Amino acid sequence: MIAVFTREFKSYMNNMTGHIFIGFLLLFFGVCVAIYNLFLGMASFRFAIEITGIAFLVVVPIITMRSLGRDRTNLTDTHLFSLPLKVSEIIIGKFLATALVLVIPIGVMMLYPLILSAYGNMHYASSYCAILALFLLGLALISICMFISSLTESQVIAAVLSFGALLFLLILPLLIALVPKDALASFLCLVALSFILAAIVWKLTSNINAGMIAAVLLVVALCALYYFKKSLFEGLFHKIMTGLSLYDRFYDLNSGVFDLGSVVYLLSVTVFFLFISVQSLETRRWS
């Protein structure tokens, strides 16, 4: 795992990808701090962090598009699979290398409250809580984009799909508000979601039968619930999607209130997508 980590981190630092990621985040954050904290005199990093979190939409797909897709393109995945390493060690090594690249700008951001305190009062607790929120959001988004990268050998397709996925997560609260809260609307949305989950099962297992079985079981279960307990679906889709919203949890932490539930959720999302990335790579290894 250390060898994979070292190779991946050096790869980021020896080409422009890592430098673009670090430079773009620091430039974006620095401009936001100059506007909100210096010119407008705000004592918290909340707004600067919030806008920087949106900037992840651009930089995270760029840095993760090569993480797994590049090995398939260069046929180096065969070499990786021949090493005495578990697939989980390969994924974790690559993830930690990408996370370390994220740590560099986050570490610089942590100096800002100390520097700005020389010019006025700073809310240290809320500022560092906001920086923690940005870091945890970054880890979660990196794991999601790594999973997407594991599904395709094209780096461009991985980047485009990752951008689309992150954009969807960002505007998810707005999309939820457009969906009616009646039982039928929730039922239809959950059926559509079932087909998406079934497609993921198919992709992870490379077995269309497994995907079809998953789709049938989920849809039949939803139909039975809707028939016998229709009232259960009133606003159900809204509740599920609101509970799953990454950016809502990020905003909760960014508000300056340390919410352990949000921390656990963001870390859980990270672990979950690393887990299914392992399953995706395992399937590819034996296919």
Residue at 8 is within a domain:
yes
Place of tokens 């430039």: 27
* pLDDT, averaged across the chain: 84
Q: Are residues 37 and 134 in the same domain?
A: yes
Confidence at 156, pLDDT banded by 50, 70, 90: confident
Question: What is the per-residue pLDDT across 267-281, written as a single tens digit (0 to 9) for each?
Answer: 999 999 999 888 887
Contact 54/133 with Cβ under 8 angstroms? no
Of the spans 1-10, 67-76, 127-136, 178-187, which averages the highest pLDDT?
Answer: 127-136
Q: What pTM value is reported for the model? A: 0.88
Looking at the chain, list the stretches that DSSP marks H as alpha helix, in order from N- to C-terminal side: 2-14, 16-33, 46-64, 69-73, 77-82, 87-109, 112-116, 124-150, 155-178, 183-205, 208-228, 236-244, 246-254, 260-286
- Dihedral sign, CA of 201, 203, 207, 211? positive
Q: What is the pLDDT of residue 144?
A: 93
Catalogue the long-range contacts made by 206-215 (C-beta closer than 8 Å, 24 or more residues apart).
206/283, 206/287
Question: What is the per-residue pLDDT across 173-220, written as a single tens digit (0 to 9) for each?
Answer: 888 878 788 888 888 888 888 888 888 888 777 778 888 888 889 899
Residue at 115 is within a domain:
yes
Of 193, 211, 234, which marks where a domain is finished? Answer: 234
CA 224-204-274 angle, to 5 degrees, is 105
Q: How many domains does the chain have?
A: 2
Q: Are residues 44 and 149 in the same domain?
A: yes
Question: What is the per-residue pLDDT across 216-243, written as a single tens digit (0 to 9) for each?
Answer: 898 999 898 888 888 888 888 888 888 7
Q: Are residues 34 and 122 in the same domain?
A: yes
Question: What is the per-residue pLDDT across 22-71, written as a single tens digit (0 to 9) for each?
Answer: 999 999 898 888 888 778 777 677 888 889 999 999 999 988 887 766 65
Q: Are residues 87 and 43 in the same domain?
A: yes
- Say how far apart CA 79 and CA 3 lie, in whole Å: 13
Q: What is the pLDDT of residue 152?
A: 80
Residue at 239 is within a domain:
no
Q: What percentage of residues in the chain have a pLDDT greater than 70?
A: 92
Q: Are residues 50 and 89 in the same domain?
A: yes
Place of tokens 């039982």: 183
Residue at 240 is within a domain:
no
Catalogue the long-range contacts made by 265-269 (C-beta closer than 8 Å, 24 or more residues apart).
266/136, 266/137, 266/139, 266/140, 267/136, 267/139, 267/140, 269/140, 269/143, 269/144
Q: What is the pLDDT of residue 287?
A: 58
Q: Are residues 20 and 159 in the same domain?
A: yes
Q: Are residues 162 and 187 in the same domain?
A: no
> What is each CA distance from 102 to 19, 105, 124, in whole angstroms?
11, 6, 21
Residue at 194 is within a domain:
yes
Owning domain of residue 7: 2-172+245-286
What does the DSSP assignment read for 53-105? HHHHHHHHHHHHTTTTHHHHHTT-HHHHHHSS--HHHHHHHHHHHHHHHHHHH
Q: Are residues 148 and 190 in the same domain?
A: no
Residue at 177 is within a domain:
no
Q: Are residues 59 and 107 in the same domain?
A: yes
Confidence at 115, pLDDT banded by 50, 70, 90: confident
CA 163-238-216 angle, to 5 degrees, is 80
